[in-house]
Amino acid sequence: MKSLQKQLQNATKRKKALLVLSGLLITAGWTVDIFWASGWSFNVLMLLATITAGFEIARRAWQGLWNGHTNIELLVTIAATGGLFIGVFWEAAAVTFLFLLGGWLEARTMSKTRDTLKELINMAPEMAIIVGDEGRREIPARQVEDEMQVLVKPGSKIPVDGIVESGVTTVDESAITGEPIPAEKESGSEVYAGTINKNGRIYIRATKSGADTTLAKIIRRVEEAQEEKAPTQRFIERFASWYTPGIVGLSIISYLFTWNLELGLTLLVIGCPGALVISTPISIISGIGNAAKKGILIKGGEYLENAGKVSAVALDKTGTLTTGKPSVTELIYFSQETALAGVSQEESLAEVHTASLVNGNNGSLPSEGEELLYWTAIAESASEHPLAEAIIAETNEMTDLPEPDQFESHTGQGIEAVLGDNHIYVGKADFLKEKGISIGEGINKEIQNLTNRGRTVVFTARNNKLVGAIGIADPMRTETTEMISKLRENGIERIAMLTGDAKSTANAIAGESGITEVHAGILPEDKNDIILAMQEEGYQVAMVGDGINDAPALATADIGIAMGAAGTDVAIETADIALMTDKLMNIPEALRISKLTLRNIHQNVVIALVTVGALLAGVFAGSVHMAAGMLIHELSVMLVIFNGMRLRWK
Amino acid sequence: MTTTKTILRSDELSCPSCVNNIESNLNQTEGISKAKVHFNTGRIEVEHDPDIASEEKLIEVVRRSGYEAHISQF
């Protein structure tokens, strides 16, 4: 008996027990009625079923009243009590049983929609092994204090943020950074709660635990986004606050006009605003949860709704459409035979060779190409220019790169360096010409071709002879073209590129990627003006950017999308949608999920309103009674929940 | 009075109005200075004095409101 009492103290188990008992009593009632046609036994069993299921409902209604709220439970309690009073015992039993069953099913399915959050929360272990003077002991991870030493065994998850004190291992940090390759960790390395210690035993000194960890901050952001109400939800909640008393009023008026108490009570049952109040949050939780699983952090219902209406997208070029890291794309050099024959190298186009390195195919570079890179890199090794970095990066395999004996930089023009008896010039064509080095027609045509394709070209000469030229570009990301066509597929009418870069460079990227509207050579404040102009023309604009210079435009746009936000708090704070990784395809994906969610919200509101409308009409026409009304009402709530849940797999 | 913040989670909140009862019951409990229940995420934030209102007490109040809840580290 005591154990049963204890079991029933558990709210979940108690509700389940009451539900089963009420169901059994209803079944028994119908059995008695069909086989023995005993009217009074039927009524007694239905009365018991009503009391059993109604106990929990009445309790919550009473608690609500005590706390000063009117709730759905109150409507159901009045309806069921009234039903018993006027002698419709079966209707009263059905109403309470169906309401309790509906609530149980709703809770189960709602819990499923919160799965994304649970997955995130379950990433970090609940317990931590701490090592102290008294040896090892296991304590809840959230109770680990700063400076405590924590032991993490191979294969287990790290419970707190901290610094490795001893031990060597690799850690899978994909949960935090999205980086799939495990990171090497040794004494002094930082580790995060929720990441997986792959192979070594490590001792860490805790720096943050529980709600202060980096994982907790990410979880908090997802939660805040899910808690943030969409404009539609706010509107519906305002609507519901006068809707419930309105239904009570309608039911009283109907009773006073018809003196039909059952009609009044049925109105109370069908008027429960369950489907309507749940219509928006269910879609928002599912939509934001689905996006979060893909590394897209949508900051809340409002942004989800706004993103769902986007009709124009403005994209920053550098770092968004391109990798943001200049690299060597072409090498232009002269053939060995010509040089040996003593013919002037640059006289004929046929003697000029271009090696494209765009796809990283520099493995089979001819010796002339290597020589060009070699002499250029020697000069550039003393330079701090961003283009120098690209050239040095290309010569990674040349281990013996000597430092120049002398070096001089001519700002904006080029550099000159001396190594032994080699005098090297690297720079613009004009700079080399100024130094008396001739650049022939053949190579000029090739250079023009590269410039038209948006390349920056540097020339290299050694001992007054042109060795060749190097094309450098900020290469387009591999996904850019696919991303643009996906945006168009998703109904984005206008796609514009905004960049401070030169027109030729911008046009080259736009041409390759399929963007037709280019605004090049502009300042950050111009980006803002362009977005404002687009908005004035009636577009709902999303701006995609990655840098601080994009911040004003991100703020002005209807939706600001920040790229590669993992680890950078500023980007997450300022943007409406933050992409946790650099995955470009997540831009159309974020807009697609938003559109789907917006449509889902509309569908749910329509389902809820149509059901209530149809039920009201049915009640006044006399064809819908209490039990049927509650059944249809509960079905509409479940339909809305399932419709919202579809978004989880979209 | 020492105040600490404890996070509870409930998987059972099935309608936005469910939160009102839990929130009111928690806020009326001695030793709890502030309680906030979030329907969409099932998160329950409680600021309380652990000497007067222990973690077990918080769970008990939520249970009395008709729902099960558990302590969460985040």
Where on the phi/psi map is residue A183: left (φ > 0), alpha (ψ -120 to 50), or beta? beta
Does B24 sit within 8 Å of A126, measured CB to CB? no
Quick one: closest CA in B to A218, which residue? B74
Does B72 sit within 8 Å of A11, measured CB to CB? no
Q: Give the model confidence (pLDDT) of A221-258 as tens digits.
A: 778 878 877 788 788 877 777 777 788 888 899 999 99
> Do A207 and A242 have their domain in common?
no
A364 in any annotated domain? yes
What pLDDT does A349 receive? 39
Q: Give the model confidence (pLDDT) of A197-207 as tens digits.
A: 988 899 999 99
Number of domains composing chain B: 1
What pLDDT does B33 receive? 95
Whether the CB-CB separation of A110 and A645 falls below 8 Å is answered with no
* Mutation site for B-interface testing, chosen from A105, A109, A142 by largest number of B Cβ within 10 Å: A142
CA A50 to chain B, closest CA, distance in angstroms equals 18
What pLDDT does A338 receive? 46
Mean of pLDDT values over A66-88:
87
Q: Give the model confidence (pLDDT) of A375-414 as tens digits.
A: 898 888 887 777 788 888 887 766 677 888 888 888 778 8
A588 in any annotated domain? no
Q: Which of A605, A582, A401, A412 is nearest to A483 (CA)?
A: A582
List, by residue number, the catalytic residues of A: 316
Quick check: helix, strand or coil at residue A475? coil
Does A216 sit within 8 Å of B41, measured CB to CB? no
Q: Which of A193, A106, A111 is nearest to A157 (CA)?
A: A193
Mean of pLDDT values over A357-362:
59
pTM of the predicted model as reported, rounded to 2 decimal places: 0.73
> Do A436 and A539 have their domain in common?
no
Residue tagged 């002698």 (tokens): A87
Q: Give the residue numbers spanning the domain of A404.
A: 327-473
> Do A430 and A370 have their domain in common?
yes
Q: Is the dihedral of CA A270, A271, A274, A277 positive or negative?
A: positive
- Show residues of chain A in contact with B15, CB under 8 Å: 72, 103, 106, 274, 277-278
The CA distances from residue A554 to A231, A298, A301, A570, in Å, are: 21, 14, 18, 12
Question: Mean pLDDT for chain A?
Answer: 85
A290 in any annotated domain? no
Q: Which of B41, B66, B72 sits opposite A227 (nearest CB)?
A: B41
Check pLDDT > 90 for residue A281.
no
Q: Hey, what are A355's tokens? A: 């090696």
Please give the Cα distance from B6 to B25 (Å, whole number). Answer: 16
Please give the Cα distance from A379 to A406 (Å, whole number). Answer: 9
Check pLDDT > 80 for residue A194.
yes
**Boundary (domain end) residue, out of A424, A454, A473:** A473
The DSSP 8-state label assigned to residue A278 in this structure reads H
**Boundary (domain end) residue, out of A548, A580, A612:** A580
A339 in any annotated domain? yes
Q: Residue A634: which pLDDT band, with cuts at 50, 70 and 90?
A: confident
Check which CATH number belongs to the domain holding B45 and give it.
Answer: 3.30.70.100
A21 in any annotated domain? yes
The DSSP 8-state label assigned to residue A144 in this structure reads P
> Do A237 and A143 have their domain in common?
no
More confident residue, B74 or A352: B74
Please give the Cα distance from A267 to A619 (Å, whole number). Answer: 7
Please give the Cα distance from A381 to A571 (Å, whole number). Answer: 34
* Nearest-5° Cα angle at A579, A594 to A646: 35
Check which CATH number belongs to the domain holding A349 and give it.
Answer: 3.40.1110.10
**Boundary (domain end) residue, out of A457, A473, A489:** A473
Please give the Cα distance from A411 to A132 (Å, whole number). Answer: 60
The CA distances from residue A181 to A107, A171, A184, A187, A583, in Å, are: 39, 9, 10, 20, 16
What pLDDT does A205 receive? 96
User: CB-based contact (8 Å) between B45 and chain A?
Assistant: no
> Do A196 and A155 have their domain in common?
yes
A182 in any annotated domain? yes
Q: Is the dihedral of CA A224, A230, A234, A239 positive or negative?
A: negative
More confident residue, A398 or A120: A120
Q: How many CB atoms lie within 10 A of CB A405?
A: 10
Check which CATH number belongs to the domain holding A148 and give it.
Answer: 2.70.150.10
Q: Give the residue numbers spanning the domain of B57.
A: 4-71
More confident residue, A214 or A311: A311
More confident residue, A261 or A568: A261
Q: Residue A607: which pLDDT band, with cuts at 50, 70 and 90?
A: very high
Number of domains composing chain A: 4
